[in-house]
Structure 1
Amino acid sequence: MHPSRPAFWVSPVLCAAVLVAGVYAALVGLGTTHLPLLVGGLVALVVLDLAEFRRYPVRTPKPVAAGLLALRAVLYVGVAYVDGSGLARLLLLLLPFTAYFAFGRTVAVVLGAACLAVAVVSTPDWYAHVEQVSDLVMFTVGLVLTIATAAVAVRERDGRIRLQESHRTVAELSAAAERARVARDLHDDLGHHLTAIVVQLEKAAAFHDHEPAVAKTAVLDAERSARRALNDVRASVRSLRSFDLLTALDDLAGDDVVLVVSGSPDGHDTGALHALYRAAQEGITNARRHAAATRIEVRVELDAEGAKLTVSDDGRGMGTAAEGFGLLGMRERVALAGGRVDLAGTSPGTRLTVTIPGPA
């Protein structure tokens, strides 16, 4: 049975109880029991339940549920008519119980009241017999319990549906976040190295005729940048579980970068350290590519209160150009780490500041 179908066992259990009581009544001669008809009616009810649950494992559409409810009512009355034990009228409890799943509490309560009225009308002079009064009281209690059980089952079913929807939403958000992370990594890794390659190749082209040695050195630097790009791509494909910020910054810094680090990365979240590294990478790339800077300083401060990165240069400043994908990705990455990004123009140059609070 589909796990999303709540309380599917109630109807088969009641049918089994009626069958046992009917067989016993037929064996001892209690009342008039037409055993073949009783068994056939109960089997029909169970098959009907199984067919509905298989076709509609979570919720039966209202038009279909109304037709099945009417068919069940006919079968319940027929089974009660051929049962000599009198227990078959308990099957009427299944009418409000089943109706609750498709139509809600109001319809279930109305049907429960109707079933109680039928039970009272079909028991003449019930008030004059203690046994019949007791039976009606128990029938009323059974109605209350079945409606309450249906209410709990419906809440459980709706809760499962909401939980499944939440799981789907989380999966979609996770996939979107992963796509954004991959996009940031591609831009930060490949963008940085490709920029260096372009700069070196432009330098080689400019000095090719006048200073071949300088041009050759630029080509070799471009080759090294290409190899670094390849290594970074391979490293990104692997799921890195450790990250050494200081080593990564040393590899990132070149001859035109002054690196100053104070404090220790121990105790800081790996995601925060990655965010700092990516911010440094983006700041250095922008300073080299757009600001025409001759001096770049990267300062990292790590302490118990948090982590702070400052990238400053002596280039031509920010100007009025809009922020590109690199800065957008950096802001997203730092925001995910709980930090903030400040970008300001200086005289001369630009200063990028990233601040990430320490772990709680």
Structure 2
Amino acid sequence: MASPPTAVPWIPPVLYTAVLAGGIYHAVVSDGPVRVGRTGGFVAGLVLLVALELVERRRWSPSTPVRPAAALLAARLALFSAVAVLDGSGVSRALFVLVPFTAYLVFGRRTGLACGAGCVVLLVTGYTLWVPRWWVRVEYVSDLLMFGLGLALAVSMAAVAVREQQGRSRLEGVLAELENSHERLSEYALRVAELSTADERNRVAREIHDSLGHHLTAVAIQLEKAEAFRERDPRASAKAVSDARWSAGRALTEVRESVSALRDARPFSLTRALADLVRHLGDDRLTVTLHVTGDEAGYDAASLTALYRTAQEALTNAHRHGRATRIDVTAAYGESTARLVVADNGRGFTADPAARPSGTGFGIRGMRERVELLGGRVDIDDHSDPRAADGAVVTVTVPRSPLLAGSSG
């Protein structure tokens, strides 16, 4: 424990001033001759005490280490004794109340109380040695009682100062911890913002790929078809141009719907969206059928949107990569989960390495990420279609409500 000189800094100077005033007053008004040497020594002792206070505060402020504080306490005790011997008024005995006060601050409660008891014993011993039968003289008994009261007040004030210092230290510790916590929270908030930004970036990337990517791919396919059949089959070419125009219009509509969804939630119908998608994808070279069982009412929009985006990706893969001539789309709404199955008779994913389930194509990866974020599952089988030797079967299962709160389509 260290002595805090700033705990109650005004006590020693006030006490020194009071003792100086009392000693000089007694020397002036006393009947005996004024002893200049004794009075000068008395004043010099008080000056040295003030000098010790100044040195301690300048050298060790705001707290004095234990060893220097103990040395200073011993020096003060010696000066207190010298001043008390040179003081004829007896007022200087009040200086000894600073001994338990300072000891309490330096060494703690037990040492402070022991020093206070030691001061009382010292005073009683001095009375006993130099004042015969002092205990029957009112002035000495009164002085002893007042001295004991002063010691009690000094120890109490030291206890208050220590508690205040400890409370201030705890408060500073709490404030430092709060500041550290605030810094950590700021770092966590920044990290969360970065993760949220990355998550939103991935979501937007999936949305662009699944929506605009699908329709732009369909537009490209239809325009290629229109170019190929322009001379041989004008009717098929015109139909392809019409389908390309529809895909472009549908892409624009979905962009508008996505923007509107950011402002207010509009109901999304997976069955209607699938029917619209299947109707415009099929032609004389590709047959697409849709089978729906159950009711989509009560399903979360994020789950339904995930199934729709998966259907778009699967149909695009079957048409463009698999060169399928028949695609069957089945949507089944159960009590707790919905399942979408897209089966085709094309060449499967093995025809295009970039589209394989184990590949790194963004379409397959985005499909899995979107569904798994909702607590669903994606299964892809290249050769399990019972109606064809080749082909692919994409099965997607999602819960009625997303397992991840706050998920969006």
**TM-score, with structure 1 as normaliser:** 0.65
Find the partner of 1:326 among 363, 370, 375: 363
Query: Secondary structure at 2:210's aligned position in 1?
Result: helix
Deviation at 1:217, TM superposition (A): 2.0
Q: 2:236 aligns with which of 214, 226, 241?
A: 214
Q: CA deviation at 1:75?
A: 7.9
- Report the Cα offset of residue 124 of structure 1: 12
Q: Is the 8 A contact 1:292 1:315 kept in 2?
A: yes
Structure 1 residue 149, shift from structure 2 partner? 2.2
Task: Report the alpha carbon displacement of residue 118 of structure 1 after superposing the two structures with TM.
Answer: 8.7
Change beyond 3 A, Cα 1:194–1:147 = same
> In structure 2, do the counterparts of structure 1 residues 72 and 288 end up closer, same or farther at CA, with 3 Å as the change threshold?
farther
Unaligned runs of 5+ in 2: 1-5, 19-56, 65-101, 120-150, 384-388, 404-409
Q: In 1, Cα distance between the equivalents of 2:59 and 2:330?
A: 78
Secondary structure at 2:332 match in 1 = strand
Aligned mates of 1:209, 1:200 — CA distance in 2:
15
**1:32–1:119 Cα change, 3 Å:** farther
Choose which of 174, 192, 200 in structure 2 pairs with 1:152: 174
Cα gap change, 1:71 to 1:225, in 2 (>3 Å): farther
Amino acid at match of 1:336: L
Change (3 A) 1:183 1:72: farther
Cα pair 1:119 1:136 within 8 Å, conserved: no
Return the match for 1:116 from 102, 105, 111: 105
Q: Which moved more, 1:211-220 or 1:343-352?
A: 211-220
The one of 175, 189, 194 aligned to 2:216: 194
Is 1:291 the counterpart of 2:328? The answer is no
Q: 1:238 to 1:122 in 2, by over 3 A?
A: same
Task: Tell me: CA distance 1:32–1:351, structure 2 relative to 1, closer, same or farther (3 Å).
Answer: farther
Q: Which residue of 2 aligns with 1:226?
A: 248
Rounded Cα–Cα distance in structure 2 between residues aligned with 1:72 and 1:282: 78
Q: 2: distance between equivalents of 1:142 and 1:162? A: 30
Corresponding position of 1:338: 375
* Deviation for aligned residue 1:348: 2.3
**Which residue of structure 2 lines up, in the alignment, with residue 245 of structure 1?**
270
Tell me how far apart the structure 1 counterparts of residues 175 and 236 of structure 2 sit (CA, whole Å): 79
Distance 2:58 2:234 in 1: 95
TM-fit CA distance, 1:74: 4.6
The number of residue pairs the alignment matches comes to 268
Residues 233 and 71 of structure 1: is their aligned pair in 2 closer, same or farther, counting only changes over 3 Å? farther
TM-score, L = length of structure 2: 0.58
Q: Distance in 2 between matches of 1:327 and 1:126?
A: 85
1:103-182 alignment runs, 5 A limit: 116-117=105-106, 126-127=116-117, 128=119, 129-182=151-204
RMSD value, Cα: 3.5
AA of the residue aligned to 1:248: A
Equivalence for 2:336 = 305
Contact 2:329 2:340 in 1 (8 A): yes
**1:155 Cα deviation from its structure 2 partner:** 2.5
| Aligned partner letter, 1:350 | A
Distance in 1 (CA, whole Å) between partners of 2:277 and 2:337 is: 22
* Alignment partners' CA distance in 2, 1:310 and 1:71: 85
Q: Could you tell me how far 1:116 is from its partner in structure 2?
A: 2.8
2:137 aligned residue: none
Corresponding residue number in structure 2 for 1:51 = none
Q: Distance in 1 between matches of 2:208 and 2:302?
A: 17
3-state SS of paired residue (1:239): helix
Distance 1:259 1:71 in 2: 91
CA contact under 8 A between 2:343 and 2:391: conserved in structure 1?
Answer: yes
Offset, 1:145: 2.1
Whether contact under 8 Å (2:103, 2:115) holds in the other structure is no
For the pair shown, which has the larger CA radius of gyration, 1 or 2?
Answer: 2
Per mean C-alpha deviation after superposition, the further-off stretch among 273-282 and 139-148 is 139-148
Q: 1:155-213 CA deviation, whole Å, 9 max, x = no partner? A: 22222222211111111111111111111111111221122112211221221112222
Residue 45 of structure 1 corresponds to none
